[in-house]
Copies of this chain bind each other. A is one copy, B any other.
């Protein structure tokens, strides 16, 4: 049983990839929709929330946890690992590895939430992989509300992307890490601003990494996914379709995450 969690719905971009490459696996997803977003909050608050999220997943007997959230992966991974026996995987490592393989000019751009950029998590991982890589990071705090409110294309997301991303042209990045699992939904406008830059999707890369770790193979079963949220089911079902291409299959249950 794979446990996956995120501050909200961005982690569904990882679930979508798990469904695509390991359709036989059972998944428990928790989205903290009652307290979303995390990325504009402090490390102390993010860590407190992430501990509750993990405790909740453990009550569902998951065997491994994927933190499908750039903010939590950047802020709380070591602490969560320190406190728990089962394997816990973040999105940073697999994403940085992919970017380090893709970049030709060794100039990698990183975008993420304010908390992610402040943590320097992707920079440290990239430089550990290859000290020659130069990085530049920009926090994009408006991207999550744009996506969650369905502003995926058009003038407003395009101008916002231009505002945040133009510095990468001068920097000369040939590769850009989408360091938040919401951001792949803005790939269209990001490509309009940076047409010659390769984009790395943190949710998808970490799903591939998870498959390698699990040595997961097709057992002929059809896996089941159960979604848990801390706001209402209705609110979740409405927005989840943006991420899952309308293929929301599985039950949805509301929980009170503050009790964990």
Contacts and interface: CB of A to CB of B under 8 A. Distances in A.
Contacts of A148: 40
Contact of A163 (B35, B156, B163, B232): B156
List 7 tightest A-B contacts by C-beta distance, closest first.
A42-B232, A145-B145, A258-B258, A141-B149, A45-B231, A34-B45, A35-B35
Contacts of A42: 231-232, 234-235
Interface in A146-181: 146, 148-149, 151, 155-156, 159-160, 163
Interface in A15-61: 33-35, 40-42, 44-45
A47 to B, nearest CB: 11
Contacts of A155: 159
Number of identical protomers: 2
Contact of A41 (B33, B45, B142, B156): B33
A199 to B, nearest CB: 22
Contacts of A230: 45
A41 B145 CA distance: 13
Contact of A146 (B142, B231, B234, B235): B142
Interface residues of A, number: 27
23 contacts: A34-B35, A34-B41, A34-B45, A40-B148, A40-B149, A41-B231, A41-B235, A44-B232, A45-B230, A45-B231, A141-B145, A142-B142, A142-B145, A142-B146, A142-B151, A142-B156, A145-B145, A155-B159, A156-B156, A156-B160, A156-B163, A159-B159, A258-B258
Contacts of A141: 145, 149
A185 to B, nearest CB: 15
A37 to B, nearest CB: 9
A221 to B, nearest CB: 34
Nearest to A38: B34
A41 to B, nearest CB: 5
Nearest to A148: B40
Nearest to A141: B149
A205 to B, nearest CB: 27
Contact of A45 (B44, B45, B151, B232): B232
A42 B35 CA distance: 12
A90 to B, nearest CB: 22
A148 to B, nearest CB: 7
Contacts of A35: 34-35
